[in-house]
Amino acid sequence: MDSPHQKVSLSELSDECKQLGIEVIGLTEVVNESGELASWFLPQVQRLRDWVSRGAHADLKWMEDQLDKRCDPRILLPNVRSALALWVSHHFPEPREHEISLYSSDSLSSLGSASEKQARVARYAWGRDYHNVLRRVLRRLNKWLKERSSEISSHGSVDTSPVLERAIAERCGVGWIGKSTLLVHPQRGTFGSIAILLTSATFDELDEKHPHRCGTCNECVKECPTGALGPEGLDARLCISYWTIEHRGLIPKHMRPKIGEWVFGCDICQEVCPWTIKAGRTQPSPSDSLWSPQPARAYPDLIQWLMTSDEELDETLKGSPLRRAFPHGLKRNALIVLANLREKAAIPAAIHHLRHKEMSVRGSAAWCLAELAAELDLETSQRRLIIDALTEQLTRELHTVAQAELYDALKRLNEPLNN
Ligand code: B12
Ligand code: SF4
Ligand code: SF4
């Protein structure tokens, strides 16, 4: 007889996942037969509540608003029993080092010659948006489960629902949560996206939690340029990924130099992880075809971004995770990174952006120009051009925060202010 808690075979499910290009899956119980939350889930809930009460979520208001749902999967799916975790690698090789079939030769040649002055994008955003890709997979699995019993109901999440994805994936045996707070897969390292399917179905087998294997290693904590990682996990208020992807508005001054070359996200705590390094990547993996990574997304031409209108930039990035930051967020970040890279060629574009419609872009343009003028050996005429542009903008700027940025920029250039 059909039941919402119909028992399903794990090996049949694994075969189906393989056909969908998913190699790593795991299963766990989240709610027991009596309808109570599984005991393993409760300490995770406490960890999450402590994290939010410390304010470590910065201004991610949705973390506060959806806290109860994140702490209790029964709110999302009342008859939930199990969770299925999918983990898909996005550990693409470096386009410059490995000219393999994964990247088309056209897109490689458009990268130009290798230079040290390179803006960087987090690896997960080199290709298609994982939300779209994995949501499609979850829909297929939902359909597959429904074919086992029409009574089975499921709820999928790929960073799209208030679900504690990492904690669930860890319990499903996919890997362990490292000191970076990232899920580490024992063979493939950290570069992976997670999708969770909460389901009312039960399974003939469940997976075991993976042992924690960070040991005495502390590389991610040590190498994080902002000190965002500590014994309590991550403080988003210090994380480059938070500021460049999630934050709207100006990025605080003290964070701007620390952002370095990272124009969208940050992979430092992953690139230094011995498990990621050991996993290496020189050959294509079966999941690469899901993503279609593009070298120009890995190392974008930021001046080109700035010379493109917001509307056009948005259009060019359709289907990419980069859209999460909006064109004005990407331009804000680009101005900061170009300043950090001491990119003289950015001066005209930065002057142009002193008049952008978004205050955060105007303020970042002022900062960028002051940094370049202060740090580079510019010709007098070029320095004058910057000072005149900043002074002129100050006469028309109405936003007090942007005015303060312009004042600071001119002060930095030792330019006496008349008003
Ligand atoms: C909010 C969020 C962020 C925030 C906060 C990150 C954070 N560490 O919490 C910001 C914007 C900074 C961020 C950044 C990134 N994110 Co993010 N993010 C999320 C999101 C939406 C929620 C995470 C969350 O609940 N955080 C609150 C904390 C308390 O929860 P948690 O990290 O899950 O922690 C639990 C466990 O860590 C557990 N725990 C158990 N044992 C241990 C042991 C130790 C030592 C620690 C510290 C914790 C711990 O306790 C916690 C509570 O249960 C998830 C998607 C989702 N719905 O889950 C993606 C997600 C975590 N992000 C992801 C990615 C890829 C990133 C970035 C790598 C992107 C980039 N390259 O720039 C960075 C990585 C930064 C980092 N070191 O974590 C992936 C992670 C994949 C993976 N392999 O782990 C996720 C799962 C999205 C996805 N579906 O693929 N992210
Ligand atoms: S993503 Fe970057 S800033 Fe954030 S914790 Fe990792 S290394 Fe630090
Ligand atoms: S770098 Fe070291 S401490 Fe950090 S997650 Fe990897 S193994 Fe763990």
- Give the tens place of pLDDT for each residue, 76-121: 999 999 999 999 999 988 776 544 455 555 554 444 444 567 999 9
**Residue pair 399/249 in contact by the 8 Å Cβ criterion:** no
Q: In this structure, which residue's CA is closest to atom 5 in ligand 3? A: 178
pLDDT tens per residue across span 206-262: 888 999 999 999 999 999 999 999 999 999 999 999 999 999 999 999 999 999 999
pLDDT for 98: 45
**Residue pair 264/122 in contact by the 8 Å Cβ criterion:** yes
pLDDT for 206: 85
The type of residue at 72 is D
- Closest ligand, as measured to the CA of 178: 3
List of E strands, 54-172: 82-89, 120-121, 154-157
Annotated catalytic residue within 159, 207, 301, 408 = 159
This prediction has a pTM of: 0.95
Residue ranges of the domains in the chain?
A: 7-92+126-203, 226-259+301-412
Active-site annotation holds for 288: no
- Characterize 309-339 residue by residue with b for buried, 16 or more Cβ atoms within 10 angstroms of its Cβ, and e for exposed: ebeebbeebeebbbbbbbbbbbbbbbbbbbb
pLDDT for 282: 59
CATH of domain 226-259+301-412: 1.25.10
Q: In this structure, which residue's CA is closest to atom 1 in ligand 3? A: 273
pLDDT for 113: 42
**CA 184 to centroid of ligand 3, rounded, Å:** 8
The CB of 200 under 6 Å from ligand 1? The reply is no
**Residue pair 162/251 in contact by the 8 Å Cβ criterion:** no
Segments of the chain scoring below 50 in pLDDT:
98-100, 108-114
pLDDT for 296: 86
Q: How far is CA 297 from CA 123, 252, 263, in A?
A: 9, 26, 11
